[in-house]
Structure 1
Amino acid sequence: MKYQGSCHCGQVAYEVDGQLDGAMACNCSICQRKGSLMWFVPRDQLTLLTPESQMATYTFNKHVIQHHFCPTCGIHPFGEGSDPKGNRMAAVNVRCLEGIDLEAVPVKHFDGRAL
């Protein structure tokens, strides 16, 4: 299924193709503050609809995950990194997808603080 997503103001917009069968809530120092619910998909399943230059990126700790956000409204619609096997992944913020019933999405909790 194809989903549309964006930040609040629409400056960072994308499409993502896949089966949304769950999301992850992480308690690491950044995820806890953002409140994101992340859905991980191969990076080639996410297509930016706006230029990359319209988003800002934040990295911290080991600098392996690029946390993308809108410099205008501040919303974090997705991030990028690699899985343990080296495959490029996108971490899509389910809260930024259009037409999603968040109550129907199963959420797994991840102890990111323990890393």
Structure 2
Amino acid sequence: MYDIKAYPGSCHCGAVQYQVKLKLPPVHDQTVESVRIYKCNCTTCQKMGYFHCRPTNPVENYILTSPSDPKELGDYRCYEKKHGWYFCKSCGVRVLGLGGSWEQIELDVEEWAGTKKDGEEEKLQKVWKTSGEDRFVEVQGQKLTRPYYLSVNAVTLEPSEDIDLIKWHEKGWVYYVENLRKDGTQLRVGEPHEGGMY
């Protein structure tokens, strides 16, 4: 198992930049706190081609470094309008799903990411993070407490030795989620549910 590590992500044109801390590999036990990597077969995720990667602690493990204000992002909301599906207004790439709110803070991004070298001066920068409260979800008949919703689109993570989406599938790290049927959410590894995608 890896230590928690910060990974950069961006849209295609680079106007949207973020960092997310992930501890890999995921644990496939819904009662255990873990990063969640999955593809959902609901119509929203299918039409967007969304590949979910949800950090363990969204409040502490995600920062938006560009643009200077989340209001500069496109924000699509469907159904109950609780979740924003944020995208770059320039290139159209969907980078983030959020059911929560934004707050601006000032921090040293390199120090936050663990990449700062000893003796380097502090470089404070204004960034955006999320703030939220717990919510309750039902998974396979169990009521579980979950932090509010934050999911980065895994295809927007910068490729690296750890961020290899083919290997994630081959290693069985990717959940496939059934959300089309009315009989509740179902999870499995290996292949998508009906209407889903690899």
- TM-score > 0.5 by shorter chain: yes
CA distance in 2, matches of 1:24, 1:63: 22
CA distance in 2, matches of 1:21, 1:54: 33
Alignment of 1:69-80 (within 5 A): 69-80=87-98
Paired position in structure 2 for 1:113: 180
Query: How many Å apart are 1:19 and its aligned residue?
Result: 1.3
One-letter code of the match for 1:12?
A: V
Query: How many Å apart are 1:35 and its aligned residue?
Result: 1.6
CA distance in 1, matches of 2:153, 2:83: 14
Large movers: runs of 4+ above 6 Å: none
Shifted more, 76-85 versus 10-19: the winner is: 76-85
Corresponding residue SS for 1:33: helix
CA distance in 2, matches of 1:111, 1:62: 19
Corresponding residue SS for 1:49: strand
RMSD (CA atoms): 1.8
Give deviations 1:29-77, integer Å, cap 9, x for gaps.
Answer: 1210122210112322110011213311111111121111111111111
Rg: which structure is higher? 2
Paired position in structure 1 for 2:62: 46
Give deviations 1:71-97, integer Å, cap 9, x for gaps.
Answer: 111111111126523623310111110
Give 2:25's match in structure 1, choosing from 15, 18, 21. 21
Name the structure where helix makes up a greater proportion of residues.
1
> Per the alignment, do residues 96 and 86 of structure 1 end up closer, same or farther by CA in structure 2, a change over 3 Å counting?
same
Paired position in structure 1 for 2:15: 11
CA distance in 1, matches of 2:148, 2:174: 22
CA distance in 1, matches of 2:97, 2:88: 12
Query: How many Å apart are 1:14 and its aligned residue?
Result: 0.3
Corresponding residue SS for 2:79: coil
In the alignment of these two chains, the number of paired residues is 115
TM-score (norm 2): 0.53
TM-score (norm 1): 0.88
